[in-house]
Amino acid sequence: MAGGSQRVYKQRIKSTQSLKKMFRAQELIAASRIGKARGRSAAATPYERAITRAVSAVATHSSTDHPLTRERHDTNRVAVLVIASDRGMAGAYSASVIRETEKLVQQLTAEGKEVSLYATGRRAISFYRYRGRELTGEWSYGSDNPQSDVAGEIADTLLGAFLAPVAEGGVAELHVVYTQFVNMVTQRPRVVRMLPLEIVEGVAAPGEHEVLPLYDFEPSPEVVLDALLPRYVRSRIFSFLLDAAASELASRQRAMHTATDNAEDLIRNYTRLANQARQADITQEISEIVSGADALAAS
Amino acid sequence: MAELNVDLVAADRKVWSGAAREVSAPSVEGQIGILVGHTPFLAVLRPGTVKVSTTQGVAVEAHVSGGFISVDDDLVTIVVDKITQSAGSSALA
């Protein structure tokens, strides 16, 4: 029927327009939240810096033999924490973090290690659940707005696993896979070995001419280290979560921007097709009338 | 007169920073007061009240849930897990 294709195109234009509105809204939401997420990431830096400084101060003044810095050789189980998002509509954000995790898991398995997985964010959780892979721990916490007490909970669970005896599922290493926020257009999945801690990297912080003073510790260097290291881990995990949140929002903004552009292209395309169909209908009608009139005149 | 340079930071933000005359913090071995010229010092804090006083009076008084304090060449850094309440004339929100 002649009007049929016109109607179909009109419908498609309409539905694409409403999708476009949704994409645009998501893009604007992500764009407005991204500044806040980066601000929070920056606000957490003084704390992290203070802790790193204190840890290196203790490390230079006492033997750093602490359960958290010791290599464990009694088990070949390792923990991997993957930080993904709760929602989709962020392009390849979750997919690339999960792909990086899979690569790491494969590599660890090849080294003869047994991997126990911890996941944050519903995307990662459903990815592993769908494939029937066991998750030792999972958190879905509102991945675009992480809170420090959630980070504390995650860190405490993982520290618990690291310090636990072999029989209770103790792990020898902890790796974290998260997305590093480089800038608005670049976010990179990154793997960090979190435990056992390498204090060496913190000691390099003061400049060559700056000599760390001889500290008095209260009550003792060991107790101070005991209190500092878990906090250090907690603050690192919190900063990973914040970085991941900023990356997620940036990816989402970009993905939704592309989706909006694509929707516009589609609408333009369908409008042309609809116009063409309309013109074809008109032409056909005219030729029908003309040929009808010709037939009448001939008879 | 020389003054202490104080940074009070919580896990997710910087709470207060500036010059101060005296800092009082709840160390695990008892409330300690720090004045200018204190020896380098690192202590674990228990839950209690942190008080920072400037020459004008008390600048911050906050209840904290634990953390640590480090003093180094009149630079005082108080790192706390959580600030449950704070009052002060010039607290940075």
Model pLDDT for residues A59-79, shown as the tens digit of each residue: 776 665 777 877 788 888 899
Residue to test with chain B: of A40, A47, A58, A240, most B Cβ within 10 A: A47
Among the ranges given (A236-240, A261-265, A273-277, B54-58), the one the predictor scored with the smallest mean pLDDT:
B54-58
Query: Does residue A275 form part of some domain?
Result: no
Residue A140, CA distances (Å) to A87, A112, A124, A143, A150 in order: 10, 30, 10, 7, 10
pLDDT of residue A201: 46
Is a pLDDT exceeding 50 seen at residue A203? no
Query: Does residue A176 form part of some domain?
Result: yes
CB contact under 8 A, A216 and B40: yes
Adjacent-strand bridge partners of A83? A120
Residue of A71, A187, A88 whose CA lies nearest to A143: A88
Residue to test with chain A: of B7, B8, B13, B65, most A Cβ within 10 A: B13
Is a pLDDT exceeding 50 seen at residue A202? no
- Chain B, 19 to 78: residues with Cβ < 8 Å from chain A are 27-29, 32, 39-44, 67-68, 70, 72-73, 77
Q: Tell the residue number behind the tokens 């310090």, with chain if given.
A: A163
Q: What is the ipTM of this complex?
A: 0.78
Instruction: Tell me which chain A residues have a C-beta less than 8 angstroms from the C-beta of B72.
Output: 57, 213, 215
For residue A76, give the DSSP letter.
-
pTM score = 0.82
CB atoms within 10 A of CB A283: 10
Q: Pairing state of beta strands A216-218 and B41-45?
A: parallel
Structure token digits, residue B92? 């940075």
Taking CA–CA distances from B42, the nearest residue in chain A reads A217
Higher pLDDT among residues A18 and A136, named by residue: A18
Taking CA–CA distances from A235, the nearest residue in chain B reads B11
Map out the domains of chain B as residue ranges. Answer: 4-85
Query: Does residue A12 form part of some domain?
Result: no
Higher pLDDT among residues A75 and B84, named by residue: A75
Residue of A55, A214, A283, A175 whose CA lies nearest to B44: A55
Instruction: Tell me which chain B residues have a C-beta less than 8 angstroms from the C-beta of A48.
Output: none
Q: What percent of chain B has pLDDT over 90?
A: 5
Is a pLDDT exceeding 90 seen at residue B28? no
Could you write out the DSSP letters of every residue in B13-45? EEEEEEEESEEEEEETTEEEEE-TTPPPEEEEE
Q: Tell the residue number behind the tokens 């029989």, with chain if given.
A: A167
Contact between B66 and B80 (Cβ < 8 Å): yes
Is a pLDDT exceeding 90 seen at residue A254? yes
Is a pLDDT exceeding 80 seen at residue A214? no
Closest in A152, A216, A228 to B39, CB measured: A216
CA distance A230 to B77: 18
State the total domains in chain A.
1
Query: Does residue A101 form part of some domain?
Result: yes
Among the ranges given (A31-45, A211-225, B50-64), the one the predictor scored with the smallest mean pLDDT:
A211-225
Q: Could you tell me the residue range of the domain that residue A94 belongs to?
A: 32-254
Q: Tell the residue number behind the tokens 């009448």, with chain if given.
A: A296
Question: Mean pLDDT highest for which of A13-17, A35-39, A191-195, A207-211?
Answer: A13-17
* CATH T-level fold of B4-85: ATP Synthase; domain 1 (2.60.15)
CA distance A7 to A277: 10
> CATH no. for residue A228?
3.40.1380.10
Question: Mean pLDDT highest for which of A133-142, A277-286, B35-44, B61-70?
Answer: A277-286
SS3 for A278? helix
Q: How does the average pLDDT of chain B come out, rounded?
A: 83
CA distance B23 to B19: 10
CA distance B41 to B76: 9
Q: What does the pLDDT average to over A250-264?
A: 95
